[in-house]
Amino acid sequence: MLSGLFWTPLEMVKNRQQMGHGKTYIDAPLTAPRSRHPSMSSIGSSTTAPLIETGVQRQSYSSLPRAASGDLSALAIARRIYQQRGIVGFQKGYWLSLSVFVPYSIAYFLSYEQLKSLYSTHVLERPLSSDTKLPFSAYLMCAGVSGSLAASISNPLDRVRTIVQVSNKRPSAWTVIRQLAREEGWWKGATRGLVPRVVWVVPSVVISMTVYEMLKV
């Protein structure tokens, strides 16, 4: 909970910068009205321009307002957040971040220790103890599998958290969940972005845990 006070502001700036805006895409409504009227069917229907999501809304990239290049710097985004909402603005999504981080941590460390114990018991044929050293490959496997599991479990809330943090409309988490379920369905809404998240998490935990375990005295 304490560390979240430090990395939540960094997450906010990072997410907004990755979206490529200081005051651009997220100023649009969270969702666009649905209509079969010809005048509405052209919204986001460009066949040549790539599509980008704003919350759960898809719009043509070329139709979105662009900010000046200076607005895309991390410092400029941080300055805008401070001007709009003060210091409190940097903690937007703090509790949501904890709702992602806590289940992720629990799932990761429980499964990691269990996998190490299983490997030691069934492969090395001795119970895992504080002085047991496993092979390098065992740490790689345990960390990778545990990271994949933890990332999968926390992915739904991580997506909700990201949408809330980058939206200027201040939607509640429950509003975002309902809109995702209505427009994408529960399964797709919960699993969208899962593969990139796993690909991002696994190398991180594999490197950090194997280095930690190999250097631990």
> Among the three residues 67, 90, 113, which one is the final residue of a domain in this structure?
90
pLDDT band for position 20 (cuts 50, 70, 90): low
Residue 130 has pLDDT above 90, yes or no: no
Q: Are 46 and 107 contained in the same domain?
A: no
Angstrom distance (rounded) from CA 125 to CA 120:
6
Cβ neighbours for 9, distance < 8 A, ≥ 6 positions apart: 78, 90, 91
Q: Are 67 and 165 contained in the same domain?
A: no
3-state secondary structure 124-160: CCCCCCCCCCCCHHHHHHHHHHHHHHHHHHHHHHHHH
Q: Are 79 and 145 contained in the same domain?
A: no
Q: Are 74 and 30 contained in the same domain?
A: yes
Q: Are 86 and 103 contained in the same domain?
A: no
* Per-range mean pLDDT, top range of 11-25, 45-59, 172-186: 172-186
Q: What is the model's pLDDT at position 114?
A: 95
Cβ neighbours for 137, distance < 8 A, ≥ 6 positions apart: none
Q: Are 194 and 130 contained in the same domain?
A: yes
Q: Are 188 and 208 contained in the same domain?
A: yes
pLDDT tens per residue across span 56-91: 444 433 333 444 444 568 888 888 888 888 888 888
Q: For the chain, give the mean pLDDT.
A: 76
Cβ neighbours for 65, distance < 8 A, ≥ 6 positions apart: 24, 25, 27
Residue 113 has pLDDT above 90, yes or no: yes
Domain count, the chain: 2
Domain region containing 43: 4-90
Q: What is the model's pLDDT at position 34?
A: 44
Angstrom distance (rounded) from CA 167 to CA 189:
17
> Among the three residues 62, 90, 118, which one is the final residue of a domain in this structure?
90
Q: Are 116 and 146 contained in the same domain?
A: yes
Q: What is the model's pLDDT at position 21?
A: 52
pLDDT tens per residue across span 146-194: 999 999 998 888 888 878 777 767 678 888 888 888 888 888 888 888 8
